[in-house]
Amino acid sequence: MRAGRVQATLAVLLVSASQAAGSALTAILASSERSCYYADVDKVGEKIGFYFAVQSGGSFEIDYVVMDPDDKVLLDGEKEAQGDYILTANKIGEYSFCFENDASMSDKLLDFDIMVESEPRRVLSGQQQPLKEHTSTLEESSYKINGLLSSIARTQKYFHTRHHRNYSTVLSTQSRIFWFTVLECSVIVGMALLQVWILKTFFAKGTKRFKV
């Protein structure tokens, strides 16, 4: 009996894990480059999760646009550093998620996640009824755990993005301090040389020469 329960539990977890199809990707977007990614929706009313964050490059800004199978714009933005959206699919087909790096001359490291909800129907061998009718409580608990894990993953991505941006800010500040110090030292040395030259010129003018 315990082995049968373990098998049923594993089957439920597999069903719950397969109820959302998604892809977490990291890509480098060159200057003036446009890159598009696609996700298929098999049922009207499914939820589409779309998350992106610029990890490094320039001012951490990117342009994006999300379109439905009829090329109708659902979401768009310019010079955005991060976004997290949930859409409802009103049409069946291929949805596109495009990024553009036209506003900057530097490459961008982009982290994004596209999640499409799905509801496959799994049937146990030798049975005609769906598995979820017998294990609704366990499946609901799996949904809650999956939601909590997704929330934790999004929070980790947020702090990861903040870490990259703060690190880039620190490097930029160090570079500015270095070059400001170099400029300040150059000005001090130049002023010292100028003072020596002025004093030398002043005393040279005040010296009288006599021919014997």
Residues in the chain, pLDDT under 70: 1-24, 118-136, 139, 143, 147, 205-212
- For residue 2 the two structure tokens come to 């315990």
Best CATH choice for the domain 19-120 from the list 3.90.1150.10, 2.60.120.680, 3.40.50.300, 3.30.870.10: 2.60.120.680
**Average pLDDT over all residues of the chain:** 76
Give the pLDDT confidence score for residue 152 in this predicted structure.
81
Give the pLDDT confidence score for residue 5 in this predicted structure.
40
**In the chain, what are the domain boundaries?**
19-120
Whether residue 57 contacts residue 104, with contact meaning beta carbons closer than 8 Å, is answered with yes
Q: What is the distance between the terminal CA atoms of the chain, rounded to a whole angstrom?
A: 128
pTM of the predicted structure, to 2 decimals? 0.57
CA distance 7 to 13: 10
